[in-house]
């Protein structure tokens, strides 16, 4: 049988990261390709205790169908939690609980984009979101970085080009894949551009709480007084991604449309997971928990950077993150990045080729992404040394 698939899926490929992750199931492989929380970062005992308590004392509350917007107890606890340092939830806003923040990306495109509509994204950006937009018929218009910040001139031009974009998808904190953070000035300027051009912003902030250096910068959502920002907050990176619990905060009209989209998709998010998250947020010291995981990532990030400094050829450049999970490495133009990544895989070290994160993955790219949250300290040392040897091998050939 020759299957006739829908046209809108024709330029959506299986995620390059998921494909590489399949190869990394081999125990010999050192994987810097994932983006998973560290195994040490999970509050396992607490989750076990809360779960047992719910299933013993109020099982039907989590085994029955629930309402689409989400469990009321979680909505209250999450509102309090995400508003604790800044006002992300405005008077006209509402929250919907989703199955991971990945679902927010899908719903944003589903409710806002017709076939062929344009979404502006950072170039590079989070592959899962780009695939969600493309699978719903959206066309990506990528904006490059210049001197460590989004190129605002290029953004201005992209906003004025026809067709007019539907929204800008941005990850201002410890971006995936680059690990970079937008300055306050750039955030304010982007918000102004959104207002002047009447274009919405989808602000994705799964890593904001994982800052291990410097001062927190206000979210674009907290700066917005005009209902321009859809805010995606996730509990994946700070509690547990397997539970698939995230929250979208946006003006009521947008959340109401997302509610209809969710009814057509999965009715509501898993009630057991929502209830466990609600009780965890209410009854445990989240600040202490977050501080503990920040310290794990700080140590791992510094270890990886130190080892890179020791072993990488000095012509190789990389970002120095102040939070999050990723480092973006750029090889000199004389070195073919895909050959580098293949050589690394042959030596059992996996990284993600940078072109996977571009608006058009056939564009030339000399960068790749490395993750430091998942591998152990030993694997970080071992894997970076191997990558370092390949940088010297390939740079000495190319020079």
Ligand X SMILES: Cc1ncc(COP(=O)(O)O)c(C=O)c1O
Do 177 and 318 touch, CB atoms closer than 8 A? no
**Residue 142 is a binding residue for ligand X (CB under 6 A):** no
Q: Do 82 and 89 contact (CB within 8 A), yes or no? A: yes
Residue 126 interacting with ligand X (CB under 6 A)? yes
Residue whose CB is less far from ligand X, 127 or 199: 127
Check residue 128 for interaction with ligand X (CB under 6 A).
Answer: yes
By CB under 6 A, name the one of 68, 94, 176, 219 that touches ligand X: 176
**Is residue 261 involved in binding ligand X (CB under 6 A)?**
no
| Binding flag, residue 101, ligand X (CB under 6 A) | yes
The least CB distance from residue 244 to ligand X, in Å, is: 7
271-292 CB burial, b ≥16 within 10 A, e <16 = bbbbbbbbbbbeebebeebbee
Token readout for 326 is 């990723």
By CB under 6 A, tell whether 371 contacts ligand X: no
Q: How far is the CB of 323 from ligand X (least distance, A)?
A: 13
Measuring CA to CA, which residue among 223, 222, 225 is closest to residue 87? Answer: 222
Nearest CA-CA partner of 108 in 258, 220, 267 = 258
Q: Which region, judged by CB under 6 A, interacts with ligand X, from 48-56, 97-105, 109-117, 292-300?
A: 97-105
| CA-based nearest residue to 367, from 319, 314, 295 | 319
Site for ligand X in 228-247 (CB under 6 A): 234, 236, 241, 246
CA 65 to chain centre: 29
Minimum distance from residue 356 beta carbon to ligand X (Å):
13
Q: Does residue number 179 form part of the binding site for ligand X (CB under 6 A)?
A: no
How far is the C-alpha of 98 from the C-alpha of 85, rounded, in Å?
Answer: 22
Q: Report the residue from 171, 228, 240, 350 that binds ligand X according to the rule CB under 6 A.
A: 171
Residues near ligand X (CB under 6 A) are 35, 100-102, 126, 128, 171, 176, 204, 206, 234, 236, 241, 246
């Amino acid at each position: 049988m020759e299957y006739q698939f829908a046209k809108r899926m024709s330029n959506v490929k299986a995620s390059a990261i998921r494909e590489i992750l399949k190869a990394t199931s081999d125990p010999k492989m050192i994987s810097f390709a994932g983006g998973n929380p560290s195994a040490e970062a999970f509050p396992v005992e607490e989750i076990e205790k809360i779960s047992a308590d719910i299933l013993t004392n109020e099982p039907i509350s989590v085994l029955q169908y629930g309402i689409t917007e989400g469990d009321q107890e979680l909505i209250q606890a999450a509102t309090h939690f995400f508003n604790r340092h800044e006002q992300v939830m405005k008077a006209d806003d509402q929250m919907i609980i989703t199955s991971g923040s990945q679902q927010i990306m899908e719903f944003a495109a589903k409710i806002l984009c017709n076939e062929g509509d344009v979404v502006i994204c950072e170039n590079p950006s989070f592959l899962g979101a780009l695939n969600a937009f493309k699978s719903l018929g959206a066309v990506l218009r990528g904006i490059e970085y210049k001197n460590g910040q989004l190129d605002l001139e290029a953004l201005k031009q992209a906003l004025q080009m026809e067709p007019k974009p539907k929204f800008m998808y941005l990850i201002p904190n410890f971006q995936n894949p680059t690990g970079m953070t937008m300055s306050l000035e750039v955030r304010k300027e982007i918000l102004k551009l959104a207002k002047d051009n009447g274009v919405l912003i989808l602000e994705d902030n799964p890593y904001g709480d994982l800052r291990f250096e410097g001062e927190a910068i206000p979210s674009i959502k907290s700066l917005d007084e005009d209902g321009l920002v859809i805010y995606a907050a996730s509990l994946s990176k700070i509690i547990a991604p397997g539970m698939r619990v995230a929250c979208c905060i946006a003006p009521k009209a947008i959340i109401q449309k997302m509610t209809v989209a969710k009814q057509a998709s999965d009715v509501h998010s898993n009630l057991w997971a929502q209830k466990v998250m609600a009780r965890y947020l209410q009854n445990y010291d989240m600040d202490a928990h977050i501080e503990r995981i920040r310290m794990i990532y700080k140590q791992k990030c510094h270890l990886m950077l130190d080892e890179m400094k020791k072993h990488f050829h000095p012509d190789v450049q990389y970002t120095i993150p102040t939070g999050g999970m990723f480092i973006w490495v750029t090889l000199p133009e004389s070195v073919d990045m895909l050959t580098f990544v293949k050589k690394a895989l042959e030596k059992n070290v996996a990284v993600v080729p940078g072109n996977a994160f571009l608006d058009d993955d056939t564009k030339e790219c000399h960068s790749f992404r490395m993750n430091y949250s998942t591998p152990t300290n030993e694997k970080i040392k071992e894997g970076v040394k191997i990558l370092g040897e390949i940088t010297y091998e390939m740079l000495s050939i190319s020079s």
